[in-house]
Amino acid sequence: MSGESDDREKKELDTLVENISRILQHEDEAIYSREVVEEFRNPSNIGRMKDPDGQGIADGLCGDTMEFYIKVSSERIETCAFYTDGCGPTIACGSRLARFVTGMNLEAAMLVTPNDLVSLMNGLPPDHEHCATLAVIALRNALRDYGKRAGTKGMRE
C-alpha cells in the first residue's frame, strides 16, 4: 500500500512542478522580450576561460558580478566567454554580448554601449537595464586587460 501512496505523491509533486514551471515561463514571457528569455534559458559562451588574453570583472550595484574573457588574434576577438552569478537578465546580457563581439575588432568592441546591448536584446525592463551596463563594463575591463598585457595603448583608455 505504501508503494502506491509514494507513487501518487510523486505524480502529484511532478504535476505541481510542471504547473509552477509553466506559470514562471508565462510570467517571464510577459516581462521580457523573446530574445532575453531565449538567451537566459539557453546561454552561449558561458564559463570561465583558461589562459585568456584578457579578462575583466565588474560588480553591479545589485550585487551581481560579471566576468568576461577574451582570446585575441590579429586584433580581433577570436573567442569570448563570460561568467556571472547574476539573474536571468544578467545571464542573457552576458550571453548576447559575448556572441555579438566574437569576431569583432578590438576598437569596435570597446565602442559597444549598454544601449547597443539593450537594443540587441529587443529591450529590457528599466529595472534590469543595469544588467547591460554590467556586461559592457566587464567586457571593457577584459579589453583593457588585454591592452595592458599586449602593450596596446588604445585598449588602456
How does pLDDT run across 56-80, given as a tens digit for each residue? 999 998 899 999 999 999 999 999 9
- The CB density around residue 107, as the number of other CB atoms within 10 Å, is 12
Host domain of residue 15: 2-31
Report the domain count for the chain.
Answer: 2
Q: With a cut of 70, list the residues of the chain below it in pLDDT.
A: 1-3, 13-30, 152-157
Do both 19 and 74 map to the same domain? no
Do both 12 and 66 map to the same domain? no
Which amino acid is present at 12?
E
CATH classification at residue 98: 3.90.1010.10
Do both 43 and 103 map to the same domain? yes
Residue 24, pLDDT score: 46
The C-alpha cell that represents 73 in the structure block: 588574434
Alpha helices in 32-120 (DSSP H): 34-41, 88-101, 106-110, 114-120
- Give the CB-side neighbour count of residue 79, counting CA atoms within 13 A: 12
